[in-house]
Amino acid sequence: MRTMARIANSTAGNATAGDSEFVIEDLSVGVHASGYGRVGDGRSFCFYTERQQLVVEVYRPRWSGPVPQAEDIVATAHRRLTDIDVTDERSVAAAVRDAVAGARPVARTAL
């Protein structure tokens, strides 16, 4: 099942509504839940299930190319699937929203 959800980000202090908008553009529920969206600051994100976890990857603003590369990932988050009703799109959307808000920056190593 696919859907589009617009969820206001409650953490936006004095930002305008357009700047604080959290949007899930595509959402598939079920054992293989996945999708993608964007936050108001120009970053996009994707989420998918892997090894009994919901994985969220947040990308840098305005990455170029058809598919983001590893260097485009600026933050990640993981949530246990046992805490999420993956058959309910509201539950998945809420888990993704919380994961994006709590995503931790990716450590970069110098080459």
Listed by start position, the domains of the chain span 23-105
Write the pLDDT tens digit of every residue in 77-108.
999 999 999 999 999 999 999 999 999 999 87
Lowest-pLDDT range of 4-8, 22-26, 84-88: 4-8
Considering the chain, what is the average pLDDT of its residues? 83
pTM exceeding the 0.85 threshold for the entire prediction: no
Between vectors from CA 64 to CA 59 and to CA 68, what angle results, nearest 5°? 45
Cα end-to-end span (Å), the chain = 42
The pLDDT of residue 110: 62
